Amino acid sequence: MDRDKILLTPGPLTTTLRTKLAMLRDWGSWDADFNAVTASVRKSLLAVIHGQDSHVVVPLQGSGTFSVEAAVATLVPRDGHVLVLDNGAYCKRAARLTTLMGRRCTVMGFDDAVQVSPAALAERLQSDRTITHVVMIHCETGAGVLNPLQAVADVCAANGKGLIVDAMSSFGAIEIDARRTRFDALVAASGKCLEGVPGMGFVFIRKTLLDECAGRSQSLAMDLHDQYVYMEKTTQWRFTPPTHVVVALAEAIAQFEAEGGQPARLARYTSNYQTLITGMKKLGFKPFLDPAIQAPIIVTFHAPADAKYDFKTFYAAARARGFILYPGKLTQIETFRVGCIGAIGPDEMEQAVHAMGLALQDMGIASAAPA
């Protein structure tokens, strides 16, 4: 096979040739040309959420998790109390990093197969006045649930609580409008729905909160306030930036805008999702989630009940045909996941389903129906 394998994962993703080619040039991290690229990227990112008037955006080196950790350390006072709404693996990660940052953390648990509940959140905020901030994962890719951002934001606003949103797997595809949805911070990354390459996160912070964030982080590298102030003053990053990642993201954003921005990206991913679901059902596979709460980002499927099924064998057979699948994140039942995002369309999804059908044939499995 002469093409790259297609990544059916929640990131890193399959990228376009144009995005790859953008990384073939070396850039000086202090050079005016590179600083102009950084400024352009920041401006474009703010436009995606209509946040020009209300928020600033602060880029940070590293994976998206680096930026979630930085957001908690920068936004939450040392004596703050964070409530994490937990319906999956990435929620649990957010709770763990909050605790490691030395902030008091309470976890409010929900089943992996349901959305977090704004009504239950409202009750908790009424009963525990010590909570200062709420952390929510917008699209919990552990199972693929799309959580109700607007309703949760409204509850936090009504109760005067700060909201930190991990929008890692939704930003750029699912609509987020800062003019309508109130949040203190929103975190995303280069290697997800913008279809850049991994290596850079970014955090939108409400302008009115910036001053009080000074000196709050216990980390030098993760201090978003310090990063913001330095960038505004010098146009440069404080420490060596991921130059190739930044220019690749600039190119990916140009393609994102040319495609039609967030609505067009959502339409393509939704088409990918529908193609995947239709094809997988014909093979006997059953999705884990109710379609009403399923984001068109990544889909969890039950493992086939057939005793001959083994994920590693299935994965290797699909991989040999050019498609990289993703293992399941659920602990109670065996599953695997298939991503719908990246520089791919319904044709590639059809090919992926065909590859999985052939993988089942290799294993002697007639139907992928679950137990």
- pLDDT tens profile 234-256: 999 999 999 999 999 999 999 99
Mean pLDDT score, 55-66: 98
Mean pLDDT of 154-174: 98
Please compute the mean of the pLDDT values over residues 272-281 and round it to a whole number.
Answer: 98
Using CA atoms, how far apart are residues 28 and 41, in angstroms rounded to an integer? 17
Query: In the predicted model, what is the mean pLDDT of residues 252-273?
Result: 98
| More reliable by pLDDT, 371 or 328 | 328
What domains are defined for the chain?
Answer: 6-10+261-363 (3.90.1150.10), 18-258 (3.40.640.10)
Mean pLDDT, to the nearest integer, of 129-151? 97
Whether residue 2 is predicted with pLDDT greater than 60 in this model: the reply is no
Q: Does 91 score more than 80 pLDDT?
A: yes
Residue among 265, 289, 280 nearest 345 (CA): 265
Q: What's residue 84's pLDDT?
A: 98
Q: How confident is the model at residue 331 (pLDDT cuts 50, 70, 90)?
A: confident
Segment 228-232 mean pLDDT: 98
Residue pair 293/145 in contact (Cβ under 8 Å)? The answer is yes
pLDDT at 25: 96
pLDDT at 1: 45
To which H or E segment does residue 118 belong?
Answer: helix 118-127
Is it the case that residue 293 has pLDDT exceeding 50? yes
The full length of the chain comes to 371
Q: What is the mean pLDDT of the chain?
A: 97
Average pLDDT rounded to a whole number, residues 210-229: 97
Between strands 133-137 and 162-166, the pairing is: parallel
**Calpha distance 265→205 (Å, rounded):** 24
